[in-house]
Amino acid sequence: MNAFKDDVPIYLQLRQQIEEQILARALKEEDQVKSLRVLAAEYRINPITAGNAITALVSEGVLYQKRGIGIFVSQGARERIIQSRRGSFIRETLEPNLRLAKSYEIPKEEIIAKTKSIYGEDQ
């Protein structure tokens, strides 16, 4: 199905793809996630690798398991993902880019105006 990058472990990439489906609301709270066998076959990966991705998401409370039934999206999963990504986004993406903008002497008013435009708060 999707090609995986060589520089990141496959289970982390699969985990991120599942998180992206939750963020995009393609998987909603209480939706059942595909079984390990189906994920492994679909992505052409080892079932253990698929299991590692699911186990990581279960341990973080994003997914939960109903014994004998399957794996489901937890209540509040989307908010958990957003919260966990928010801090790293600010540290790893936003701050370095704001510093770069400052080095390019882009006025902060222009940054603020662009931010308001993106957030739909045009004046």
Per-residue pLDDT of the chain (123 residues), as tens digits, is 557 888 899 999 999 999 999 999 999 999 999 999 999 999 999 999 999 999 999 999 999 999 999 999 999 999 999 999 998 999 999 999 999 999 999 999 999 999 999 999 875
Query: Bridge partners of 70?
Result: 66
- Which pair of tokens denotes residue 17? 């793809």
Alpha-carbon distance 113 to 123, whole Å?
9
pTM higher than 0.85:
no
The answer to whether the CB of 17 falls within 8 A of the CB of 23 is no
> What's the confidence (pLDDT) of residue 123?
54
> What's the confidence (pLDDT) of residue 75?
98
> What's the confidence (pLDDT) of residue 1?
53
Cβ atoms within 10 A of the Cβ of 33, count? 22
